[in-house]
Amino acid sequence: MIPLIRPFLDEAELQEIAQVLSSGFLTQGPKTAEFEQRVAEHIGCKYAFAMSSCTTALHLALVALDIKHGDEVLVADFTFPATANVVVQQGARPVLVDIDLDTFTMSPDDLERKISSHTKAIIPVDAFGCAANYDPILAIAEKHRLPVIEDAATAIGAKYYDRFCGNLSTIGCFSFHPRKVITTGEGGMITTNDSVLAEKIRLLRSHGGVKTGAWFQYEAAGFNYRLSDILSAVGVAQMAKLPMLIERKRLLASLMSQRLSKLAGVCLPTEPKWGGHIYQSYVILIDPQFDRDKVVTEMRARGVEATIGTYALHDQPVYQRQFGYQAGQLPNSHAAFRRSITLPLYPQMSESDLDLVVDTFKAVLSQQ
């Protein structure tokens, strides 16, 4: 079986973990601070806070921005449910925004149409390692005086023109799940240049406590969203590999696209005008005459793992029941949800692996 993804791990991660284990300091500590510093320096932001996941990062971003019951938050619809679930968990209403099919990212036109007097924040999503189109999104946000939370879960090392994702807006949120370009197993990161937000995040991440001498004074009802030094040790080793991993994934994506370029009924991922795509996932669209679910099932049966791109949130039962959305209401996101396929792409792949993926995909399509 060719898997969808295989994390790139070697002796460097073991050495970093061994240092932590021998130190006896296993929870959030000096190795986490080193991981945070490496991420902040890489993307060029002032503050970075390691978190237990990107989901907790997104949630804490909303808390830090005082999003509360009755508020509306505009969320890109084509995304993993966590992006909007955290809005619901704050008692706010997720207002789902359609996407542009060429990048799978938030449509600035649909965004502006959906701003209301209740709108308090915007959450674009950098889809599959491709930055959203931030110039118009940030212009709309500035016009309406709205903060922007960048869901950069898939986009560590990706760029929008000459700036790194996670350093494009009010707050950035990364994931280090094993499907991402670098991983800590589970884990996330909040990044910002706002000193006031940074202090709130620092306070709320660890129970709301401020150390005064030998113990803590609790200033807020905070959370335990910390990342351990064991997982941060993996992150430190992974950050050293990030440029190499991105270069390799971009090369493999180019080779995959060359092999699929003449295949009828398939729309390949493209580099947007702002560049910087890191191909965290290689996601294609197939024409409606093909049964996407059968294609995925048959590819797996033949030893090549494939899956959907991600989810159209407005098509999910919980968002239909709770907020009245109907399937197909956001047509581009709906089409992407029904027609997208993620093919295997990971740094250890050989060209013969690529050939097997492509040959299997072509064979399955030819039988439709």
Backbone phi, psi, residue 362, to 5°: -60, -40
Give the catalytic positions in this structure: 180
Show the tokens assigned to 218: 């609790």
Show the tokens assigned to 48: 């970075």
Contact 224, 207 (CB under 8 A): yes
- CA-nearest of 173, 168, 166 to 225 is 173
Max Cα distance, the chain (Å): 71
Contact 186, 175 (CB under 8 A): no
Contact 238, 13 (CB under 8 A): yes
State the CB neighbour count (10 A cutoff) for residue 323.
Answer: 15
Contact 220, 203 (CB under 8 A): yes
Q: Which residue has the tokens 């270069």?
A: 247
Amino acid (one-letter) located at 222: G
Q: How far is CA 100 from CA 55, 77, 301, in A?
A: 24, 11, 32
Strand-pair partners of 96:
75
Contact 311, 80 (CB under 8 A): yes
